[in-house]
Amino acid sequence: METWLTARLDLRRAKGQNHGRMKQELRYAIVGSGALGGYYGGKLARAGGDVHFLMRSDLDAVRREGLTIHSKDGDFRLPSVHTYGESREIGLCDVALICLKTTSNAALPEIIPPLLGPETAVVTLQNGLGNEEFLASHFGARRVMGGLCFVCLNRTGPGVIEHLGHGRLSIGEFKGPPQDRTMRVVTDFQRAGIEAKAVQSLITERWRKLVWNIPFNGLGIAAGANVAQVLGEAHLEAEARALMAEVIHAAGKLGYAIRADFIESQIESSRTMGGYRSSSQIDYEAGREVEVEAIWGEPLRQARAAGAETPGLEALYALLRGLVGNRA
């Protein structure tokens, strides 16, 4: 009788140059089941996916009440989902989807190993720069993929996620172009009703996301302003546009070309968000850790190394470090 473990052994024997062959249905572990993991994992589970949620604070509530998504695309509730308090309880999976905040990365070397079979892909949906490199240093570069989420989400209670808008995913390999496994993951998200695509250059997409994250997350903290307020005040909108231009300039210096008109498309998309508060703003106002280094620090260090002039980013980073440090 074939077990899941013997199937994984057969998979290892069939390993080829294209990261190996994956079994028909992918088994997902959602590492970090807050707003991000709850939403994307919930969509996969609703579509019939084999999805397993690693939870801490919400574990008991979700086991009792299930997972609830309030969405502009239609509310849904999953009365019963696979939930676990420890990754060893999940066991081997095909895809470990990292949805923790980057401030928790130090825990990943302990969390991830029980999930790893010979061909397990480790996919980070985290913000900022440096996450793929961190994962590669611990689990090997060939395992690592990344995803960029453009989505408005808030966790409003234990096991309750508010989806306010957007949701598209760009998924790519840490090293090299898309592989068969990349397309398998993209297809699973598409079947779950998520606008998803594979990208040729993951790092370029990371810089494209920073064009939005650096100004709007940063001004959310520094000015205490939600998206509508940033765009409703001429001086704040001008500051956001200037920061966007600096990010595009830095990306270009590093060899990642982003068109200048991307700024206007991001501004116009943001106008549909209303009073959305970024996760960084919510974390700061709630007294939680903020992803200062991943979102502002590492991009600034890379910009400096490339010789890019980014005075606005430098000032914002210093201000955020001071605000977060003084609060602590």
Q: Distance (Å, rounded) from C-alpha 36 to C-alpha 277?
A: 15
Bridge partners, residue 31, by sequence:
54, 98
**At a CB cut-off of 8 Å and minimum separation 6, what does 301 contact?**
none
SS3 76: strand
Q: 196: closest CA among 97, 319, 54, 311? A: 97
**At a CB cut-off of 8 Å and minimum separation 6, what does 60 contact?**
none
Q: What are phi and psi of 292, to 5 degrees?
A: -65, -45
Whether the CB-CB separation of 153 and 169 falls below 8 Å is answered with no
Whether the CB-CB separation of 69 and 42 falls below 8 Å is answered with yes
Work out the angle at residue 302's Cα, subtended by the Cα atoms of residues 301 and 303, and round it to the nearest 5 degrees.
90
**At a CB cut-off of 8 Å and minimum separation 6, what does 161 contact?**
35, 38, 39, 42, 67, 68, 69, 70, 153, 154, 155
Q: Which two tokens stand for residue 220?
A: 């959310």
Give whole-number Cα distances, 203 to 41, 131, 145, in Å: 24, 11, 11
SS3 254: coil
Annotated catalytic, 15?
no
Helix (H) / strand (E) containing 72 = none
**Ordered DSSP codes for 80-120:** --EEESSHHHH--EEEEEE-S-GGGGGGHHHHSGGGEEEEE
Which listed residue (15, 23, 197, 209) is catalytic? 209
Catalytic machinery residues = 209
